[in-house]
Amino acid sequence: MPLSYSDATTNDTSAYLARLGCDLHVHVLSGIDDGAPSLDESLAIIEAHYRAGYRRIIATPHIRSDFFPNTRHTIHEAWVTLNEIVCKRWPDLSLTYAAEHFADDYLMLMLEEELLLPLSGRYVLIETSMRDEHPYFVDIVRALIDKGWQPVLAHPERYRPWHAKPKRYAEMREMGLIFQINLLSLGGQYGSVEKSMAERLIRQGWAGAVGTDLHRANQYPYLQKAARTPEFEMLCDLPLLNYTINTHEERNR
């Protein structure tokens, strides 16, 4: 039976996703990356999130020089358009914005010019290549930490080059990275390999944050699947960044 948006709007996960505090990784701003292609799709995602219990959402569009060369301005403008509607339709929902920074030269430039868009405070969401191991990734992480930033690594369970090198996860944690697990991975969106690695990281207690990484509302049934797993219960009991992060930033107001 195909997954449908109608499944996403049922309320059988409301008691579960509300427990996570906030979604700190979602591509809900329309037309600026590979996330929501339209304002209607953005609102469909927000509606599904609201019904599932979320009351705090941090929009995290990609910033990547070769595909999505977003700036503070492009992201802010997209957020303003969406937030005007959100404030009227869901007045008790907080929508703020940050970015998912790809670890490349553009990130280093933004670091030097103090233009990074953090989740909150000094917490900055980063990602790297899922197909090839970036030769300068460790150097970029060190540069962020040396400048006083706390890097949060998006979906570590999806980095296939690391799967054959399990010690890489331990090394990255020892460096100071916070691992942000995708609920879509736990729900099987990307396949059994990513699902298994997400389960493993959670069982080891290495998950420091969780996000949906939702790009479309019709992905929501995978979140429902994730919420029914024993690893989800373990995840909720971990000291996640979701529970303490301050989403009320002057930048977003």
In this predicted structure, the answer to whether residue 15 has a pLDDT above a threshold of 60 is no
pLDDT confidence of residue 21: 87
Q: How many CB atoms lie within 10 A of CB 155?
A: 22
Tokens 């869901």 correspond to what residue? 90
pLDDT confidence of residue 250: 43
**CATH at residue 11:** 3.20.20.140
pLDDT confidence of residue 197: 98
Span 180-228, pLDDT tens digits: 999 999 999 999 999 999 999 999 999 999 999 999 999 999 999 999 9
In the chain, the number of structural domains is: 1
Residue 90 CA to its chain's centroid (Å)? 21
pTM of the model: 0.92
pLDDT confidence of residue 133: 85
- Range(s) of the domain holding residue 76: 5-252
In this predicted structure, the answer to whether residue 2 has a pLDDT above a threshold of 60 is no
Taking the C-alpha atoms of residue 210 and residue 187, their distance in angstroms, rounded to an integer, is 13
**Structure confidence at residue 14 as a pLDDT band (50, 70, 90):** low
Taking the C-alpha atoms of residue 23 and residue 58, their distance in angstroms, rounded to an integer, is 6
Helices marked H in the chain: 5-8, 14-17, 39-51, 72-89, 105-112, 137-146, 160-163, 167-175, 183-186, 192-203, 220-227, 230-236
Backbone φ and ψ for 227, nearest 5 degrees, come out as -70, -15
In this structure, what is the dihedral angle of CA atoms 68, 69, 73, 76, given to the nearest 10 degrees? 20
